[in-house]
Amino acid sequence: MTFGSRLHEAIQSRGRLCVGIDPHPALLDDWGLTDSAIGLERFAMSAVEALAGAVSVVKPQSAFFERHGSAGIAVLEKVIEGCRDLGALVLLDVKRGDIGSTAQAYADAYLTPSSPLAADAMTVSPYLGMGSLDPLIDAARLNDRGVFVLALTSNPEGPQFQHATTPDGRTVAATVLDAVATLNAGAEPWGSVGVVVGATIEETAVELDVNGPILVPGYGAQGGTTADIRKVFGSAARHVLPSSSRAILSAGPDRRSLHQAALRAAEDLADLDR
Protein backbone atom coordinates (compact mmCIF):
# COMPACT_ATOMS: atom_id res chain seq x y z
CA MET A 1 0.00 0.00 0.00
CA THR A 2 1.12 3.54 -0.66
CA PHE A 3 1.72 5.81 2.32
CA GLY A 4 -1.34 7.87 1.39
CA SER A 5 -3.49 4.72 1.47
CA ARG A 6 -2.00 3.51 4.76
CA LEU A 7 -2.49 6.90 6.40
CA HIS A 8 -6.08 7.12 5.17
CA GLU A 9 -6.78 3.64 6.54
CA ALA A 10 -5.12 4.46 9.88
CA ILE A 11 -7.25 7.58 10.28
CA GLN A 12 -10.40 5.60 9.55
CA SER A 13 -9.57 3.11 12.32
CA ARG A 14 -7.74 5.26 14.90
CA GLY A 15 -8.82 8.82 14.24
CA ARG A 16 -6.92 11.76 12.82
CA LEU A 17 -4.76 12.77 15.79
CA CYS A 18 -0.99 12.93 15.32
CA VAL A 19 0.91 13.08 18.62
CA GLY A 20 4.32 14.69 18.67
CA ILE A 21 7.06 13.38 20.92
CA ASP A 22 9.08 16.51 21.65
CA PRO A 23 11.35 15.88 24.66
CA HIS A 24 11.94 19.52 25.61
CA PRO A 25 14.26 19.94 28.61
CA ALA A 26 11.38 21.62 30.46
CA LEU A 27 9.12 18.61 29.86
CA LEU A 28 11.80 16.23 31.08
CA ASP A 29 12.03 18.33 34.22
CA ASP A 30 8.23 18.35 34.63
CA TRP A 31 8.31 14.56 34.51
CA GLY A 32 11.03 14.46 37.18
CA LEU A 33 13.66 13.30 34.69
CA THR A 34 17.20 14.47 34.05
CA ASP A 35 18.10 16.23 30.81
CA SER A 36 20.23 13.28 29.71
CA ALA A 37 20.07 10.32 27.37
CA ILE A 38 18.70 8.24 30.26
CA GLY A 39 15.94 10.76 30.98
CA LEU A 40 15.25 11.04 27.27
CA GLU A 41 14.76 7.30 26.91
CA ARG A 42 12.43 7.05 29.89
CA PHE A 43 10.38 9.96 28.62
CA ALA A 44 10.20 8.84 24.99
CA MET A 45 9.49 5.18 25.60
CA SER A 46 6.82 5.96 28.21
CA ALA A 47 5.15 8.16 25.61
CA VAL A 48 5.39 5.42 22.98
CA GLU A 49 3.90 2.78 25.29
CA ALA A 50 1.04 5.08 26.32
CA LEU A 51 0.21 6.56 22.92
CA ALA A 52 1.37 4.49 19.95
CA GLY A 53 -1.31 1.85 20.41
CA ALA A 54 -4.09 4.44 20.39
CA VAL A 55 -3.33 7.06 17.71
CA SER A 56 -2.82 6.86 13.97
CA VAL A 57 0.47 8.77 13.79
CA VAL A 58 3.35 9.54 16.15
CA LYS A 59 5.69 12.38 15.20
CA PRO A 60 9.07 12.38 16.97
CA GLN A 61 10.92 15.69 16.70
CA SER A 62 14.42 14.59 15.74
CA ALA A 63 16.22 17.66 17.11
CA PHE A 64 15.38 16.82 20.71
CA PHE A 65 16.97 13.41 20.25
CA GLU A 66 19.96 14.70 18.27
CA ARG A 67 20.92 17.10 21.07
CA HIS A 68 21.93 14.05 23.12
CA GLY A 69 24.35 12.81 20.46
CA SER A 70 24.68 9.20 19.42
CA ALA A 71 22.86 8.02 22.55
CA GLY A 72 19.91 10.21 21.60
CA ILE A 73 19.83 8.82 18.06
CA ALA A 74 19.81 5.31 19.54
CA VAL A 75 16.72 6.30 21.54
CA LEU A 76 15.10 7.64 18.37
CA GLU A 77 15.67 4.29 16.70
CA LYS A 78 13.89 2.60 19.63
CA VAL A 79 11.00 5.07 19.36
CA ILE A 80 10.53 4.31 15.66
CA GLU A 81 10.62 0.57 16.28
CA GLY A 82 8.31 0.80 19.29
CA CYS A 83 5.70 2.83 17.45
CA ARG A 84 5.77 0.40 14.55
CA ASP A 85 5.30 -2.57 16.93
CA LEU A 86 2.20 -0.89 18.41
CA GLY A 87 0.67 -0.12 15.02
CA ALA A 88 1.21 3.64 14.74
CA LEU A 89 2.65 5.25 11.63
CA VAL A 90 5.83 7.24 12.29
CA LEU A 91 6.21 10.72 10.83
CA LEU A 92 9.76 11.83 11.55
CA ASP A 93 9.96 15.59 11.97
CA VAL A 94 13.39 16.43 10.54
CA LYS A 95 12.60 19.21 8.01
CA ARG A 96 15.48 18.19 5.76
CA GLY A 97 16.20 19.83 2.42
CA ASP A 98 19.31 19.84 0.24
CA ILE A 99 20.43 19.12 -3.31
CA GLY A 100 21.74 16.19 -5.30
CA SER A 101 23.62 13.48 -3.47
CA THR A 102 22.97 15.05 -0.08
CA ALA A 103 19.21 14.94 -0.61
CA GLN A 104 19.64 11.32 -1.69
CA ALA A 105 21.55 10.59 1.52
CA TYR A 106 18.67 12.00 3.56
CA ALA A 107 16.32 9.77 1.56
CA ASP A 108 18.54 6.78 2.32
CA ALA A 109 18.52 7.63 6.03
CA TYR A 110 14.82 8.25 6.57
CA LEU A 111 12.87 6.62 3.74
CA THR A 112 14.78 3.43 2.91
CA PRO A 113 13.56 0.31 4.77
CA SER A 114 17.08 -0.98 5.49
CA SER A 115 17.93 2.11 7.57
CA PRO A 116 17.41 1.92 11.37
CA LEU A 117 16.01 5.46 11.16
CA ALA A 118 13.50 4.67 8.40
CA ALA A 119 10.10 6.16 9.16
CA ASP A 120 6.78 6.00 7.33
CA ALA A 121 7.15 9.65 6.36
CA MET A 122 9.33 12.69 6.99
CA THR A 123 9.00 16.46 6.89
CA VAL A 124 11.00 18.31 4.21
CA SER A 125 11.80 21.93 3.32
CA PRO A 126 11.31 23.15 -0.29
CA TYR A 127 13.31 26.35 0.03
CA LEU A 128 16.14 25.19 -2.24
CA GLY A 129 13.46 24.74 -4.90
CA MET A 130 10.84 22.03 -5.31
CA GLY A 131 13.17 20.22 -7.70
CA SER A 132 15.66 19.74 -4.88
CA LEU A 133 13.13 17.40 -3.25
CA ASP A 134 13.06 14.99 -6.19
CA PRO A 135 15.40 12.38 -4.59
CA LEU A 136 13.24 12.38 -1.46
CA ILE A 137 9.96 12.16 -3.34
CA ASP A 138 11.34 9.44 -5.63
CA ALA A 139 12.53 7.41 -2.61
CA ALA A 140 9.16 7.86 -0.92
CA ARG A 141 7.34 6.53 -3.96
CA LEU A 142 9.77 3.65 -4.45
CA ASN A 143 9.42 2.53 -0.82
CA ASP A 144 5.73 3.39 -0.23
CA ARG A 145 6.68 6.17 2.19
CA GLY A 146 5.57 9.77 2.41
CA VAL A 147 6.94 13.30 2.63
CA PHE A 148 5.32 16.40 4.11
CA VAL A 149 6.46 19.64 2.46
CA LEU A 150 6.54 22.87 4.46
CA ALA A 151 4.03 25.25 2.87
CA LEU A 152 2.27 27.71 5.22
CA THR A 153 3.66 27.68 8.73
CA SER A 154 2.37 29.66 11.71
CA ASN A 155 5.67 31.09 12.93
CA PRO A 156 5.84 34.92 12.65
CA GLU A 157 8.94 34.79 10.43
CA GLY A 158 7.30 32.54 7.86
CA PRO A 159 5.41 35.14 5.78
CA GLN A 160 8.67 36.83 4.74
CA PHE A 161 9.30 33.87 2.43
CA GLN A 162 5.97 32.10 2.13
CA HIS A 163 3.92 35.18 1.21
CA ALA A 164 6.51 36.61 -1.17
CA THR A 165 5.16 36.97 -4.70
CA THR A 166 6.67 35.16 -7.67
CA PRO A 167 6.86 36.67 -11.19
CA ASP A 168 3.59 34.96 -12.17
CA GLY A 169 1.76 36.69 -9.30
CA ARG A 170 1.39 33.65 -7.04
CA THR A 171 2.86 33.50 -3.57
CA VAL A 172 5.73 31.11 -2.87
CA ALA A 173 3.39 29.10 -0.64
CA ALA A 174 0.88 28.82 -3.48
CA THR A 175 3.57 27.49 -5.83
CA VAL A 176 4.51 24.84 -3.26
CA LEU A 177 0.89 23.80 -2.76
CA ASP A 178 0.25 23.71 -6.51
CA ALA A 179 3.36 21.57 -7.07
CA VAL A 180 2.25 19.07 -4.42
CA ALA A 181 -1.25 18.93 -5.88
CA THR A 182 0.28 18.09 -9.26
CA LEU A 183 2.36 15.30 -7.71
CA ASN A 184 -0.79 13.84 -6.12
CA ALA A 185 -3.04 14.20 -9.17
CA GLY A 186 -5.24 11.16 -9.68
CA ALA A 187 -4.15 9.37 -6.51
CA GLU A 188 -6.82 7.52 -4.53
CA PRO A 189 -7.80 7.79 -1.75
CA TRP A 190 -4.92 10.22 -1.06
CA GLY A 191 -1.56 10.99 -2.55
CA SER A 192 1.56 10.33 -0.51
CA VAL A 193 3.02 13.84 -0.70
CA GLY A 194 1.59 15.98 2.08
CA VAL A 195 2.01 19.58 3.12
CA VAL A 196 2.51 21.35 6.43
CA VAL A 197 0.07 24.16 7.18
CA GLY A 198 -0.22 25.75 10.63
CA ALA A 199 -3.49 25.59 12.52
CA THR A 200 -3.33 29.29 13.39
CA ILE A 201 -2.50 30.85 10.00
CA GLU A 202 -6.01 32.38 9.82
CA GLU A 203 -8.10 32.33 6.67
CA THR A 204 -6.32 32.28 3.32
CA ALA A 205 -7.36 32.54 -0.30
CA VAL A 206 -4.74 29.94 -1.28
CA GLU A 207 -6.09 26.53 -2.33
CA LEU A 208 -5.16 24.08 0.45
CA ASP A 209 -6.59 20.89 -1.04
CA VAL A 210 -3.60 19.03 -2.52
CA ASN A 211 -5.31 15.61 -2.74
CA GLY A 212 -2.99 14.49 0.02
CA PRO A 213 -2.61 14.78 3.79
CA ILE A 214 -2.21 18.16 5.47
CA LEU A 215 -0.14 18.07 8.64
CA VAL A 216 -1.47 20.80 10.93
CA PRO A 217 0.80 21.63 13.86
CA GLY A 218 -0.46 24.09 16.43
CA TYR A 219 -3.55 22.20 17.54
CA GLY A 220 -3.85 22.21 21.34
CA ALA A 221 -1.19 24.02 23.37
CA GLN A 222 -0.43 26.55 20.61
CA GLY A 223 -4.06 27.63 20.51
CA GLY A 224 -5.41 25.87 17.44
CA THR A 225 -8.93 24.43 17.79
CA THR A 226 -11.27 22.34 15.68
CA ALA A 227 -13.16 25.57 14.93
CA ASP A 228 -9.94 27.08 13.56
CA ILE A 229 -9.39 24.01 11.40
CA ARG A 230 -12.90 24.24 9.95
CA LYS A 231 -12.48 27.97 9.33
CA VAL A 232 -9.05 27.80 7.69
CA PHE A 233 -9.34 24.57 5.72
CA GLY A 234 -13.00 24.46 4.71
CA SER A 235 -13.66 21.47 2.45
CA ALA A 236 -9.97 20.47 2.70
CA ALA A 237 -10.49 19.71 6.41
CA ARG A 238 -11.16 16.09 5.44
CA HIS A 239 -7.43 15.80 4.60
CA VAL A 240 -6.19 17.34 7.84
CA LEU A 241 -3.87 15.53 10.26
CA PRO A 242 -3.76 17.78 13.35
CA SER A 243 -0.65 17.45 15.50
CA SER A 244 -0.47 18.01 19.24
CA SER A 245 2.59 17.63 21.44
CA ARG A 246 2.70 19.63 24.67
CA ALA A 247 -1.04 19.43 25.33
CA ILE A 248 -0.76 15.63 25.41
CA LEU A 249 2.71 15.20 26.91
CA SER A 250 1.98 17.57 29.81
CA ALA A 251 -0.42 14.90 31.11
CA GLY A 252 2.57 12.66 31.91
CA PRO A 253 4.44 10.95 33.32
CA ASP A 254 1.48 8.76 34.30
CA ARG A 255 0.88 6.57 31.25
CA ARG A 256 -2.84 6.20 31.84
CA SER A 257 -3.19 9.99 31.97
CA LEU A 258 -1.23 10.30 28.72
CA HIS A 259 -3.44 7.72 27.07
CA GLN A 260 -6.61 9.44 28.26
CA ALA A 261 -5.36 12.85 27.07
CA ALA A 262 -4.82 11.42 23.59
CA LEU A 263 -8.27 9.83 23.55
CA ARG A 264 -9.90 13.13 24.55
CA ALA A 265 -8.07 14.99 21.78
CA ALA A 266 -9.00 12.32 19.24
CA GLU A 267 -12.65 12.56 20.25
CA ASP A 268 -12.56 16.34 19.90
CA LEU A 269 -11.14 15.98 16.39
CA ALA A 270 -13.80 13.43 15.47
CA ASP A 271 -16.13 16.42 15.14
CA LEU A 272 -14.35 17.19 11.85
CA ASP A 273 -15.87 14.03 10.38
CA ARG A 274 -19.42 14.73 11.50
Where do the structural domains in the chain lie, given as residue ranges? 3-273
pLDDT at 208: 95
**CA of residue 143 relative to chain centroid, distance:** 18
CATH superfamily label, 3-273:
Aldolase class I (3.20.20.70)
pLDDT for residue 203 is more than 80: no
Per-residue confidence band for 252, with pLDDT thresholds at 50, 70 and 90: very high
If phi over 0 gives left and psi between -120 and 50 gives alpha, with beta otherwise, what is residue 225?
Answer: beta
- State the pLDDT at residue 272: 83
3-state helix, strand, coil in the chain (%, to 5): 50, 15, 35
pLDDT digits (tens, 9 = 90+) for 60-82: 999 999 999 999 999 999 999 99
pLDDT of residue 199: 86
Tens of pLDDT along 88-128? 999 999 999 999 999 999 999 999 999 999 999 999 999 99
The confidence score (pLDDT) of residue 222 equals: 67
What is the structure's pLDDT at 221? 67
pLDDT at position 231 is: 87
| Contact assessment for residue 244 and residue 20, using Cβ atoms and an 8 Å cutoff | yes
CB-based contacts of 154: which residues, under 8 Å, 6+ apart? 198, 199, 200, 201, 217, 218, 222
The predicted pLDDT at position 204 comes to 79
Mean pLDDT in residue range 227-256? 93
- Residue 78 has a pLDDT of 98
Interval 137-195: pLDDT, tens: 999 999 999 999 999 998 889 999 999 999 999 999 999 999 999 999 999 999 999 99
Q: How far apart are CA 156 and CA 163, in angstroms?
A: 12
Q: What is the average pLDDT value for the chain, to the nearest integer?
A: 95
Cβ–Cβ under 8 Å, residues 8 and 121: no
Whether 95 is a known active-site residue: answer yes
* Annotated active-site residue in 59, 78, 95, 231: 95
Residue 84: predicted pLDDT: 97
d(Cα 196, Cα 144) in Å, to the nearest integer? Answer: 19
Mean pLDDT of 9-15: 96
- At 219, the pLDDT band (50, 70, 90 cuts) reads confident
